């Protein structure tokens, strides 16, 4: 038996929020450190190392709670279940890799803003609330904490006009999307009389609100808010410019962890609160998935710059995860958990190689600039080839297993056409992933001095190496991770035995 935690007591609430409290405490400590030491690169590096320590200690607290089998006694504002633990672990992994990637990067790019690491920690706290919130208000607060931190991170390089443009675009469109999200919450509250996810589910069943117009409009507005956060078409317009203008480690964090947090909250809301209104949201998710897969992949085909190609590719991947959402099944949720683990590793790995290959924000690195990299830097080229093949979904990589799980979930739930679109979109993506490998292995270097500056220094070497090895291992031996993903869906659907009390 696990450890039952009663959230109506102060001790129980503190225990349930321990990972978030530990990370928030560390963020406050880092703020004090930054106020005291902020003059040179050594001070900034020390702050980065403390941020790493903060994230690792939070992982240990999270694993302790998970190992004890802690669960909440009855529905409350937050929830302790395997889905929360699994998603929080992915967010923390994404943040750890992003911090490791930033340590040398910020020094190289002459960005002396130690508050950068505080923002990464606060963004991660927001993500954890999105994955663990059992109330629309908690999820919204997590969303805003994450978003405000990432707005600052996007424009943290104050000398770059592109970073400033990225931050302004993200902030304005993000505020607009938050308005939709909040109005959706208000309408759902108006229709059901509660913002608690289990309470919403029970109100829908109790009062027969499956086809209630106010509830349906609320769900629609909520999906617009989520659609923006995960860069689903047609709410994706901000993503390419923001990903392109932000510093590369921030782009990696946004493309991986921020997107995963949006999807984690979306899965919990749709499955735990709105499962009875499946007919309303499943059709919307279906069309969002189709549009996102087609547009993301088609526009990525036209890109010649590596960073923009990866930005549009991440839109295509949002479409693949939306297929898992549209399946409306626990198999889809399990596929999502496996997929975001693989996607977080592959995204941070690919952006780490991009950061090594360029300077000044890496906006000008073209795919052809990697020509001949395999001769000069064979290990970096090999790792990049693994990342591209995993993004493509090539057998033997974790990306293949992830797509196969999503396809299985779609077919099991009778979404055959959606599965066909996913396969065709993946075939289309070969048109922009394979040219990267071809350039590295089949084209000569542009000059004698090409790739001399391309090197992975310090922690970035570990990011690329670990990501490549784990992706290959998960591609060959995925069983343990697949079992963990299936176990991670426990608690996503409300059980009839739970009674919600006002």
Residue range 132-150, pLDDT digits in tens: 999 999 999 999 999 999 9
In sequence order, the 6+-apart residues with CB closer than 8 A to the CB of 397 are 386, 389, 390, 471, 472, 474, 475
pLDDT at 494 over 70: no
Can you give the residue ranges of every domain in the chain?
A: 4-487
Residue 263 has what pLDDT? 97
Q: Is there a contact between 205 and 119 (Cβ–Cβ < 8 Å)?
A: no
Q: Is there a contact between 272 and 197 (Cβ–Cβ < 8 Å)?
A: yes
Give this prediction's pTM.
Answer: 0.94
Percent of the chain surpassing pLDDT 70:
98
* Exposure class string for 182-195: b at 16+ Cβ within 10 A, else e: bbbbebbbebbebb
Q: Is there a contact between 184 and 140 (Cβ–Cβ < 8 Å)?
A: no
Residue 232 has what pLDDT? 94
Rounded to an integer, what distance in angstroms lies between the CA atom of residue 401 and that of residue 394?
9
Rounded to an integer, what distance in angstroms lies between the CA atom of residue 224 and that of residue 229?
9
- At 496 the three-state DSSP class reads coil
User: Please, where are the H alpha helices in 193-277?
Assistant: 197-207, 213-229, 238-245, 248-253, 259-268
Mean pLDDT of 404-420: 95
Residue 498 has what pLDDT? 41
Residue range 181-238, pLDDT digits in tens: 999 999 999 999 999 999 999 999 999 888 899 999 999 999 999 999 999 989 998 8
Residue, of 262 and 488, whose pLDDT is higher: 262
Percent of the chain surpassing pLDDT 90:
75
Residue range 57-80, pLDDT digits in tens: 999 999 999 988 888 877 788 988
pLDDT at 460 over 60: yes
Residue range 284-302, pLDDT digits in tens: 999 999 999 999 999 999 9
| Mean residue pLDDT across the chain | 91
135, burial (CB in 10 Å: exposed 0-12, middle 13-18, buried 19+): buried
């Amino acid at each position: 038996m696990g450890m039952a935690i009663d959230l109506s007591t102060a001790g129980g609430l503190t225990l349930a929020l321990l990972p978030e409290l530990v990370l928030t405490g560390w963020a406050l400590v880092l703020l004090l450190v930054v106020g005291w030491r902020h003059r040179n690169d050594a001070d900034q590096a020390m702050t980065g190392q403390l941020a790493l320590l903060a994230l690792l200690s939070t992982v240990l607290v999270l694993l302790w709670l998970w190992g004890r089998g802690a669960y909440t006694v009855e529905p409350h504002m937050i929830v302790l279940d395997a889905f929360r633990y699994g998603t929080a672990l992915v967010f923390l992994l994404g943040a750890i890799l992003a911090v490791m990637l930033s340590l040398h990067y910020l020094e190289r790019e002459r960005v002396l803003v130690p508050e950068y690491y505080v923002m990464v920690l606060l963004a991660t706290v927001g993500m954890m609330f999105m994955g663990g919130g059992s109330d629309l208000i908690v999820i919204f607060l997590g969303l805003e904490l994450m978003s405000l931190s990432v707005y600052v991170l996007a424009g943290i390089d104050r000398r770059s006009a592109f970073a400033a443009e990225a931050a302004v675009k993200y902030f304005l469109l993000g505020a607009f999307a938050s308005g939709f999200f909040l109005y959706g919450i208000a309408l759902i509250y108006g229709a059901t009389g509660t913002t608690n996810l289990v309470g919403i589910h029970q109100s829908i069943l109790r009062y027969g609100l499956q086809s209630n117009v106010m509830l349906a409009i609320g769900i629609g507005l909520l999906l617009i808010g989520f659609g923006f956060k995960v860069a689903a078409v047609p709410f994706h317009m901000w993503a390419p410019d923001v990903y392109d203008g932000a510093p590369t480690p921030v782009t990696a964090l946004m493309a991986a962890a921020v997107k995963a947090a949006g999807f984690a909250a979306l899965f919990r809301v749709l499955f735990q609160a709105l499962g009875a209104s499946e007919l309303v949201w499943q059709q919307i998710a279906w069309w969002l998935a189709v549009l996102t897969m087609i547009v993301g992949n088609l526009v990525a085909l036209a890109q010649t710059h590596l960073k923009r190609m990866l930005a549009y590719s991440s839109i295509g991947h949002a479409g693949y995860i939306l297929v898992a959402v549209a399946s409306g099944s626990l198999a889809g949720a399990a596929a999502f958990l496996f997929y975001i683990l693989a996607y977080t590793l592959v995204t941070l790995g690919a952006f780490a190689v991009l950061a090594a290959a360029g300077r000044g924000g890496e906006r000008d690195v073209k795919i052809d600039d990697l020509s001949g990299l395999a001769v000069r830097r064979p290990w970096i080229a090999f790792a990049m080839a693994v990342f591209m093949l995993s993004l493509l979904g090539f057998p033997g990589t974790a990306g293949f297993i992830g797509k196969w799980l999503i396809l299985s979930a779609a077919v099991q739930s009778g979404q055959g056409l959606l599965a066909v679109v996913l396969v065709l979109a993946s075939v289309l993506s070969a048109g922009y992933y394979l040219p990267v490998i071809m350039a590295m292995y089949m084209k000569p270097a542009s000059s004698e001095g090409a790739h001399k500056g391309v090197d992975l220094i310090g922690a970035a070497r570990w990011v690329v190496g670990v990501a490549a090895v784990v992706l290959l291992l998960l591609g060959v031996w995925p069983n343990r991770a697949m079992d963990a993903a299936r176990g991670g869906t426990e608690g996503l659907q409300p059980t009839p035995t739970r009674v919600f009390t006002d």
